[in-house]
Amino acid sequence: MPLNERELEQRSWPQADFPIGQEVVGRGPGENSYYDDSGIMLQARAGFICTKKLYPQDYLESCYVQAGNVEAVALPLPAEECAITSMVYSGRLYGTTAGRRVHLFVYANGQISNLGVIEENCRKSILVVADGGLYIGTKPENGEGSIYAYRKNRLVKLMSPVTGEGVASLTADRERLYGLTDRSGTFFIYHLAERRLEVKEEVELPFSPVLALASTGDVYGVSGWNKLFKYVKKDEKMVKLDVQIPTLKGREMYNRVESLICHGDYLYGGTNADGWLFRFSLKRARMDSLGKPLNQPYIRCLAVATDGALYGIAGRDCCHLFRYGEGDLRDLGILRVTSPRLWHGYRFAAMAAGRQGEIYLGEADRISHLFIYRNSV
């Protein structure tokens, strides 16, 4: 659903929770003003006072998350093995990493415990919960990915869905695992009770490496130049929907959906090239564009808190945390902690919501941390 210029002009753009510097672009004489390096007089915005000439260190501080509380926990894993690419909350927080080795970990009582190595040399790992157990899909640097089960403190390899291909996405209900392979986009189902793999069909190229389980039991994905498809569980068949993901006009060929999540009667998602947030109503079959959280590409991951607010991470390198709730899209800023040491969160690839309203964010860098955000409201 390309957007025209008039729609862009009329759109209500997100507000930052921090001032952009402590001066404004408005120019003019007055008491509360000063001259910049170019000799241009800048007038302070209402509510801000300029008592001296401002330098970057004076205003960059305001770009960090200010509302709520941010903490970070270091992973007890070596560098290049601790990039968090997937997390789920099921009583406790579980996560998997990628890199030289894939690790499964659990966070409980303020500590992270390593549950073991799953595989080596992987670009991505996906973790889901089903039938009382943890299931992991892997996307290796080379070769084929596999599905693993972790139950009763044991890791078991179940199968490799398609020869020579990795697992690009994975979701699950109580009875089945649903997945997409990374090269051909083959949709597959693994029946847990029967321990049986069912390879369905290839989705239309080019596809996005995302799947989401809806409250109806159907599975949604994106293929064929950013159009939605769903696998209808009742009919056991794939249905192509004539619904296109919002994108800037003329950029359909570049855009892919980077994150996808279902909550209640809505499907939320974010794109990579344009960094656009959208919402699809399952009941009304209506697509709504929610705008851009910030002026960068990539909406990397999403999670819905207990109060129904949608949180996400957006940005190319220095990522920002954002929040969407009741029609208000707000850039919360850059994640940073000063204790137990100063650390900036740059790249993230996974999010999960806890039972007490907290949001877990998985850093995906050479040295990574588990960030925890708690809203002050």
pLDDT tens column, 199-243: 999 999 999 999 999 999 999 999 988 999 999 999 999 999 999
User: 245, 246, 247, 271: which is closest to 257 by C-alpha?
Assistant: 271
pTM of the model: 0.85
Work out the mean pLDDT of the chain and round it to a whole number.
88
Q: Tokens 């996906």 label which residue?
A: 126
41 pLDDT band, cuts 50/70/90, is low
Q: Tell me how many helices (H) and strands (E) the chain has.
A: 2, 33
Question: What secondary structure does DSSP assign to 186-224, as a single string?
Answer: EEEEEETTTTEEEEEEEPPSS--S-EEE-TTS-EEEEET
Question: What's the confidence (pLDDT) of residue 143?
Answer: 87
* 25, 26, 29, 35 alpha-carbon torsion, rounded to 10°: 0
pLDDT tens column, 117-165: 999 999 999 999 998 899 999 999 988 999 999 988 899 999 999 999 9
User: Cα(322)–Cα(258) distance, rounded to whole angstroms?
Assistant: 16
User: Cα(81)–Cα(99) distance, rounded to whole angstroms?
Assistant: 5
292 burial (CB, 10 Å; 0-12 / 13-18 / 19+) is buried
Q: 275 or 249: which carries more pLDDT confidence?
A: 275
Query: What percent of the chain stands above pLDDT 70?
Result: 84
Q: 112 or 252: which carries more pLDDT confidence?
A: 112
Question: What's the confidence (pLDDT) of residue 29?
Answer: 45
pLDDT tens column, 335-348: 999 887 889 999 99
Taken in order of first residue, the domains within the chain and their CATH numbers are 19-63 (no CATH), 65-374 (2.130.10.10)
Q: Which of 109-113, 225-229, 251-255, 297-301 has the lowest mean pLDDT?
A: 251-255
Question: What's the confidence (pLDDT) of residue 349?
Answer: 97
Q: What is the mean pLDDT of residues 29-36?
A: 60
- How does DSSP classify residue 32? S
Q: Tokens 């498809």 label which residue?
A: 229
Question: What secondary structure does DSSP assign to 349-372, as a single string?
Answer: EEEEE-TTS-EEEEE-SSS-EEEE
User: Cα(196)–Cα(145) distance, rounded to whole angstroms?
Assistant: 17
